[in-house]
Chain A
């Protein structure tokens, strides 16, 4: 594989689509390139659960023929992409990262998959995840996913493979699902861009559920522009998801380059400056805020005192929903779950109703606090995670005390769950590296249905950032 072919693989979805449209590169060539890279690198990284070489090459050949005859083509025509193995695909197994579903084959595509297909995308395969998108998996049945920047470190989750595959250029872009950070966390840990859209902006039809009021599909890409184009393809009402919004879908790419001059940005004090936030992360995020200020935004600190509680509130709610989804299998097939998943779902099954009700009401307060801050600011800013990707070994083994639970589960979730609890759009964009070479993620949160503003600010920051030019070592 030449340096030139690696350069092509790392271009990202939108640039690849432009090259295909201009006949500078063939969809067959790009698809072969990614399949070769999967063969070469994914034995170690384990981004993929299922690879679809024959179907992908067949669609690539049809895509190439369409270009050559001058047919009308979609915005992602000829771009190889991959989806978290939580999204159903007709005739191809959807495992949810679990032995319980290793032989599950759906009859139809998830709406998001059919929309990416209609936009011209070429499905390369299905991506690894923590079991049932829960997090805390101890033994991954389809291989331990590894961070491309350091294989001993966690790639983030639950959309682990979606982050790895984009970071390692094993696809042009990917689709994840974000209930409480599952797109933004792997994006942050793997050094790519990940967008959680407003809840209901994207259809959940055909995506295995965790929590009905927080689940949302979301794109991951090498650039902000890539995520904008993927969101464009998947957003909008779907009759198959009665909770999907009828709010009109704007042109997300149209205003990307309009800059941040005059935008009011609130830096969340309780998360950015918290003692739990690693010093290198804090410095990088504060520097990013200053960079936005230099670009013309008005940045000021805001205090959102409920945000440190968001992780625990989220787990009381989302895990309870998950326990409901898994109620039957927990009683009949408990031994087939991964130990970490089973223990988390059993715990959720035992949450007292009074505590759950308290969490439901506290969620309304978190939402109100976030929305009030967003009435005064166009965006909120904080780290995506309190630290860069931790070692995989740090989350291994049985929990031996309740104080360990807070460290493993609640603290880190408090950075990503405020947006989830409030149903707000949020993006993770790379904003530097630790001294040990691990990516750091900046998070920008916007008002309901104002993804265009979130994308515009992230794009403005990204254009000034050196982070996007770095590639994981050893993956040329």
Chain B
């Protein structure tokens, strides 16, 4: 996946009504791109067959 640009992040934020200022947008873009990159290895895991449960041991009646 190619990196998001600051323009794309600004547009996405505006669509969600989030006030991402010009001071914030560069760092927010770096953070978002870093997270996407860090989670890229998850595509190699067999996630389709995994139940998306929170993985808790203490839910009432569990």
Contact = CB atoms under 8 A, between A and B. Distances in A.
Contacts of A15: none
A316 B57 contact: no
A351 B24 contact: no
Given A200-B59, A448-B57, A309 B31 contact: no
B34 A355 contact: no
Contact of B16 (A200, A350, A398, A406): A350
B48 to A, nearest CB: 8
B2 interface: no
Contacts of B32: 347, 350-351
Contacts of B56: 199-200, 213, 423
A365 B38 CA distance: 17
Contact of B18 (A213, A331, A423): A331
A448 B38 CA distance: 28
Contacts of B42: 309, 313, 358-359, 362
A9 interface: no
Contacts of A405: 30-31, 34-35
Interface stretch (A220-228, A241-249, A455-463, A467-475): A241-249
Interface residues of B, number: 39
Interface string A173-189: 00000000000000000
A243 B59 contact: yes
A403 B34 contact: yes
B30 A406 contact: no
A201 B58 CA distance: 7
Given A342-B24, A350-B32, A358-B43, A366 B55 contact: yes
A421 B55 CA distance: 7
Contact of A355 (B36, B45, B54): B36
A139 to B, nearest CB: 14
A344 B45 CA distance: 27
Nearest to B50: A361
Interface in B8-62: 9, 12-13, 16-20, 24, 26-28, 30-39, 41-43, 45, 47, 50-60
Contacts of A313: 39, 42
A105 B9 CA distance: 37
A423 B57 CA distance: 6
A350 B28 contact: yes
A373 to B, nearest CB: 14
B45 A198 contact: no
A355 B39 contact: yes
Contacts of B41: 309
- Central interface residue in A201, A213, A350, by most chain B CB within 10 Å: A350
A330 interface: yes
A368 B55 CA distance: 8
Nearest to B13: A350
A343 B52 contact: no
A410 B50 contact: no
A302 interface: no
Contacts of B33: 402
A404 interface: yes
A316 B38 CA distance: 10
B18 A410 contact: no
Contacts of B36: 352, 355
A422 interface: yes
Given A358-B43, A367-B55, A449-B58, A401 B30 contact: yes
Contacts of B37: 402
B60 A246 contact: yes
A399 interface: yes
Contact of A199 (B35, B47, B57): B57
A359 B57 contact: no
A113 interface: no
Interface string A309-336: 1011101100000000000001100100
- Central interface residue in B18, B24, B30, B57, by most chain A CB within 10 Å: B57
Nearest to B15: A350
Nearest 9 CB-CB pairings of A with B? A200-B58, A448-B57, A367-B55, A405-B34, A312-B38, A402-B34, A245-B58, A347-B31, A361-B47
Interface of A: 198-201, 213, 242-243, 245-247, 309, 311-313, 315-316, 330-331, 334, 339, 342-344, 346-347, 349-352, 355, 357-368, 398-406, 409-410, 421-424, 448-449
Given A343-B27, A352-B36, A400-B30, 15 more contacts: A199-B56, A245-B60, A309-B38, A315-B35, A351-B32, A355-B36, A358-B39, A359-B39, A360-B54, A361-B51, A364-B50, A398-B26, A398-B27, A399-B27, A449-B58
Interface of B: 3, 9, 12-13, 16-20, 24, 26-28, 30-39, 41-43, 45, 47, 50-60
9 contacts: A198-B57, A198-B58, A245-B60, A247-B58, A347-B28, A359-B39, A360-B52, A399-B27, A410-B38
